[in-house]
Amino acid sequence: MPMAPKTTFQKSSPMKKLRIALDWTPNVNHIGFFVAHELGFYQNLGIDFEFLNPKDDDYSATPGKKLELDMADLAIAPFETVISMNTKANPVPVLAIYAILQEDLSSIVTLKSSNILSPKELDGKTYASYKARYEDHIVFELLKNDGGSGRLQVIYPNKLGIWNTLLQGKADATWIFDHWEGVEARNRGVELNHFHLNNFKIPYGYSPVILAKKNRIDSDFELLSHFIQATKKGFLYAKVHQKESAKILKNYVSLHELEHIPLEESISLTAPYLGDEETAGFMAEARVHAFANWLVQHQLEDARILSKTLFTNALLEK
């Protein structure tokens, strides 16, 4: 993709609004956005930043759907959303433009008190699903790769209540971020068993990533480049200034999370995976291809996806 000519926003220039649909209620994965907003990194580049909290509409529309319908200019989602939007019946050409985490910090979890100590022991048990396109199949394969049959009862609770479904014993397993819900569980004295996909031969992609429509990248390359630069600056600031960043995050998270999640601990666990000046936001072709190829091999996607452009690192370039 050709680089657009550099432009410097002047203070007299009108602010350009960018709305980003969050993948979940505000949490540590969003710390870079909140830091960049509070410290004026966006404003200094002429960007009027607004985040859309799924709690405001009770998750009635996914981030991908909000992006598709132009209810948002950008969206946060796992990489499989990029693949899904490009290959669904009515494709929406989107690209991943920034990887928030350089490693997968998620896992399928069970309560230790359940004595379900490995994925195969989930055969015949209940899994609380977010109803993402590939999610259930990924979890089925997790069981099979551990020697199970893949028989699993899947339920679809209210998305924002899925974590509580596990804690209340209404489901035997669900998918969480170890550095957020995992921290909450530990702080509440709830012991979990964690099953990480890469330990069971599932080459999971980047999660979460920032998504944008291809045509928006082409038409507003400079604006989105400035947004990515400010966002990267926000995440790297949070990595170094964890105490100050925890104070900023405190202004965005719910009272429940303030009570149960030590924010500095969560940021500390997240910081090593935010990358550095060279790697923050970057996506590797080999990792993207490995996940896409896995989906094809398991007949979850058509082989045509392997030839599609699904991400760009161009906006990271200064």
pLDDT in tens, 78-110: 999 999 999 999 999 999 999 999 999 999 999
Domains and CATH numbers, the chain: 16-102+206-316 (3.40.190.10), 106-200 (3.40.190.10)
Question: Whole-model pTM?
Answer: 0.93
Write the burial class of residue 12 (CB in 10 Å: 0-12 exposed, 13-18 middle, 19+ buried).
exposed
- Cα–Cα distance between 280 and 231 in angstroms, integer? 10
Name which of 9, 12, 1 is nearest 229 in CA terms: 9
The per-residue pLDDT for 6 is: 40
- The type of residue at 20 is I
What is d(CA 203, CA 107) in angstroms, rounded to the nearest whole number? 13
Q: How far apart are CA 311 and CA 9, in angstroms?
A: 26
- Residue 5 predicted with pLDDT over 50: no
What is the distance, to the nearest Å, from the Cα of residue 38 to the centroid of all Cα atoms in its chain?
21
Q: In angstroms, rounded to a whole number, what is the distance separating the alpha carbons of residues 19 and 51? A: 6
Distance CA 243, CA 222 (A): 32
Please answer whether residues 84 and 134 qualify as being in contact, where contact means their C-beta atoms are separated by less than 8 angstroms: yes
At residue 3, the pLDDT reads: 37
Mean pLDDT, residues 106-120: 97
- Residue range 258-292, pLDDT digits in tens: 999 999 999 999 999 999 999 999 999 999 999 99
Mean pLDDT score of the chain, rounded to an integer? 94
Per-residue pLDDT at 10: 42
Query: Looking at residue 13, what is its pLDDT?
Result: 61
